[in-house]
Amino acid sequence: MKAVVFTASVVDSEMPKQGPAAGKAEQRKEQFAQEVRRIGVQPKPANAQWKPGDAPGQAATRAVQTLAKAGTLGIIGVYPQTDRFFPIATAMNKNLTINMGNCNHRTYIPKSLEMVEGGTVDATAVLSQVEPMSDVIAACKEFDLRRPGWIKVELKP
């Protein structure tokens, strides 16, 4: 069986705040702070809505560390052009295959919809909130602020 890991949205990566990984994250806090400064994303944007994560390089680093030799890494999502943090030596030494790019939604949506309609995938399993469409602005604000429990939101017309 081939090992595959997908990573997305490095700019939103957060250090663990609790559990066994939290102590290790604390040791790397300054490294992550340097990455945030070098990438150049605003730590506190003026509108106080979206904020970058406090560990931008963590997603790629953990993905590469997690993979077995000759595994495949898929990288999608939001990566700023200024991001320069990728563990290339570790990836090379593991002989990883890396596929990356923005998601080609038009390719995957028809099959995804078919799987949901056919009952193969229960899309409601990932929903954490259901909000009326009339509250779309408030729901987006809560989601952007990463309030506990806001993972995926369904907006009801």
Q: What is the pLDDT of residues 54-75, one digit of tens each?
A: 776 778 888 899 999 999 998 8
pLDDT of 114 strictly over 90: yes
pLDDT of residue 67: 92
pLDDT of residue 102: 76
pLDDT of 120 reads 94
**What's the chain's average pLDDT?**
80
The whole-number pLDDT of residue 8 equals 67
- Position 143 scores a pLDDT of 79
pLDDT recorded at residue 92: 96
Q: Which of 5-19, 70-84, 105-119, 136-150 has the highest mean pLDDT?
A: 105-119
Q: What's the whole-model pTM score?
A: 0.56
- Would you say residue 117 has pLDDT above 70? yes
Per the model's pLDDT, the better-predicted residue between 96 and 11 turns out to be: 96
3-state secondary structure the chain: CCCEEEEECHHHCCCCCCCHHHHHHHHCHHHHHHHHHHHCCCCCCCCCCCCCCCCCCHHHHHHHHHCCCCCEEEEECCCCCCCCCCCHHHHHHCCCEEEECCCCHHHHHHHHHHHHHCCCCCHHHHCCEEEEHHHHHHHHHHHHCCCCCCCCEEEEC
